[in-house]
């Protein structure tokens, strides 16, 4: 085929891409119309009395659901745009097809999207692996070479990895190198040999190996690798620019704080965190930075919905307490935004959920959370959550035994509040995923 005919031949995807863009514009327009209609409905409702406020609450909640749907839609487009910009700057991301479904996998981005096989060195996408596991066949044998995947000893696994590494499989070389350096996974500690394997994988431009070498140059490795921040940064940048999600998250951290030889650059930090999350939607580090950017209003179009969405991803896996704390604050701000500055309307009361996440943060050891939790409980105990009667000295109000976040002056008030909407608030408080929490009835 001549160059001229190749140039004039239309892409087989061109029509589909045009259809997709038109569909997105139609979908986006409908979402914006629905939001405008819901806002108009709320604006026409009175809001002076407590009864007015309660009447508006369900409609404001519906507005929140509509706006969240739109914000997620817009964010997916923004992330796709960030990834496209990244590829324009650094070149197309390296991909290989899954040998089951033939869908391309960004194999350099993250291992979490693949199922690797020690037997033959092949891999399939995580979706296909899950489908096989859930099928009648099960994942008892390698779907590529049919060798048994029965659990073996560390020594057997190490022997298989060595064989793959000698064949030049970069991920196996990296695994062998790291295992030898640390003396784990069935390997004896042989730092020099491990470094050689890492260098072999890095010579193939394998980002995980480059990232590992970056760590070694930053910390040093006895007499084998001298500390060099400049070398560490160059290796990290190379790994990141090859499309390694974790390296981009790490760069976001350095650009955000201006540490380890990188100048402070919030815009680049936001870009790198966006690329990292676009490459790996399970990246908690990237999600944390994106959530904080929106929470602190450090982006052109900050969104409390996205602050909650991203911080919730981290909070659900939190082991330090900071993400739980920030998520609870983001939920409070979003609730006040939706409900005219109120956060305790029955049926849309955020206090039980906020207290749930504050307790979770405290239990994980977050500094000062005990004091903040005590302050919150003292405020909640100061008056009946139903009739608003103030607690007098010696009064012992009844605490909700489920959410432990509301107190009542009498059994009658507790029952009345439960029927009026606390039942929903109480149940919703323990929902972990933000989207499910927002959409719960």
Instruction: Check pLDDT > 90 for residue 159.
Output: yes
In this prediction, residue 52 carries a pLDDT of 87
- Residue-wise pLDDT for 307-358, tens only, equals 999 999 999 999 999 999 999 999 999 999 999 888 888 888 999 999 999 9
What confidence category does residue 406 fall into, taking pLDDT thresholds of 50, 70 and 90?
A: very high
124 three-class SS: strand
- Are the C-beta atoms of residues 238 and 201 closer than 8 Å to each other? no
| Mean pLDDT, residues 244-271 | 96
Burial degree of 109 (CB within 10 A; 0-12, 13-18, 19+): buried
Share of the chain above pLDDT 90, in %: 81
Instruction: Check pLDDT > 90 for residue 393.
Output: no
Please report the domains of the chain, with CATH numbers, ordered by start residue.
Answer: 96-282 (1.25.40.10), 318-389+398-439 (no CATH)
Averaged confidence pLDDT in the chain: 91
- Residue-wise pLDDT for 76-132, tens only, equals 999 999 999 999 999 999 999 999 999 999 999 999 999 999 999 999 999 999 999
The whole model's pTM is what? 0.89
How many residues would you count in the chain? 441
Instruction: Check pLDDT > 80 for residue 5.
Output: no
Burial 322-339 (b: 16+ CB within 10 A, else e): bbbbbbbbbbbebbeebb
In this prediction, residue 441 carries a pLDDT of 81
- Are the C-beta atoms of residues 95 and 102 closer than 8 Å to each other? no
Burial 363-384 (b: 16+ CB within 10 A, else e): ebebeebeebeeebbeebbebb
In this prediction, residue 211 carries a pLDDT of 96
Q: Give the DSSP H or E segment for 371.
A: helix 369-381
């Amino acid at each position: 085929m001549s160059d001229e005919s190749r140039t004039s031949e239309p892409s087989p995807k061109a029509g589909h891409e045009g259809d997709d863009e038109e569909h997105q514009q139609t979908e986006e327009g409908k979402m914006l119309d629905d939001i405008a209609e819901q806002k108009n409905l709320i604006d026409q409702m009175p809001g002076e009395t407590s009864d007015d406020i309660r009447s508006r609450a369900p409609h404001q909640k519906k507005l929140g659901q509509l706006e969240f749907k739109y914000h997620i839609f817009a964010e997916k487009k923004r992330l796709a745009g960030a990834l496209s910009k990244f590829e324009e700057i650094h070149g197309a991301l390296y991909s290989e097809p899954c040998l089951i479904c033939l869908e391309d996998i960004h194999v350099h981005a993250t291992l979490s999207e693949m199922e690797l096989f020690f037997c033959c060195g092949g891999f399939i996408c995580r979706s296909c692996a899950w489908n096989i596991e859930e099928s009648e066949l099960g994942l008892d044998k390698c779907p590529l070479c049919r060798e048994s995947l029965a659990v073996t000893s560390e020594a057997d696994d190490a022997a298989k990895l060595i064989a793959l590494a000698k064949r030049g499989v970069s991920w196996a070389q990296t695994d062998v190198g790291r295992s030898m350096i640390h003396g784990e996974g069935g390997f004896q500690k042989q730092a020099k040999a491990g470094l050689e394997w890492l260098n072999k994988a890095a010579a193939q431009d394998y980002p995980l190996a480059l990232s590992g070498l970056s760590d070694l140059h930053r910390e040093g490795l006895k007499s084998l690798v001298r500390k060099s921040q400049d070398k560490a940064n160059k290796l990290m940048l190379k790994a990141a620019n090859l499309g390694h999600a974790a390296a981009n998250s790490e760069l976001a951290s350095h650009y955000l704080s201006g540490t380890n030889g990188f100048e402070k650059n919030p815009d680049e930090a936001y870009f790198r965190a966006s690329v990292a999350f676009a490459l790996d939607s399970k990246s908690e580090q990237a999600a944390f930075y994106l959530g904080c950017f929106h929470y602190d209003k450090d982006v052109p179009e900050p969104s409390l919905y996205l602050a909650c969405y991203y911080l919730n991803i981290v909070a659900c896996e939190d082991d330090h307490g900071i993400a739980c704390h920030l998520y609870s604050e983001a939920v409070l701000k979003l609730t006040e935004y939706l409900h005219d500055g109120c956060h305790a309307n029955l049926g849309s009361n955020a206090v039980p959920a906020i207290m749930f996440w504050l307790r979770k943060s405290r239990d994980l050891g977050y500094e000062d959370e005990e004091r903040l939790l005590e302050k919150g409980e003292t405020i909640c105990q100061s008056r009946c959550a139903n009739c608003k009667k103030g607690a007098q000295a010696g009064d012992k109000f009844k605490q909700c035994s489920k959410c432990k976040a509301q107190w009542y002056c009498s059994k009658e008030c507790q029952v009345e509040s439960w029927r009026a909407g606390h039942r929903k608030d109480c149940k919703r408080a323990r929902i972990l995923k933000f989207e499910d929490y927002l959409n719960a009835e």
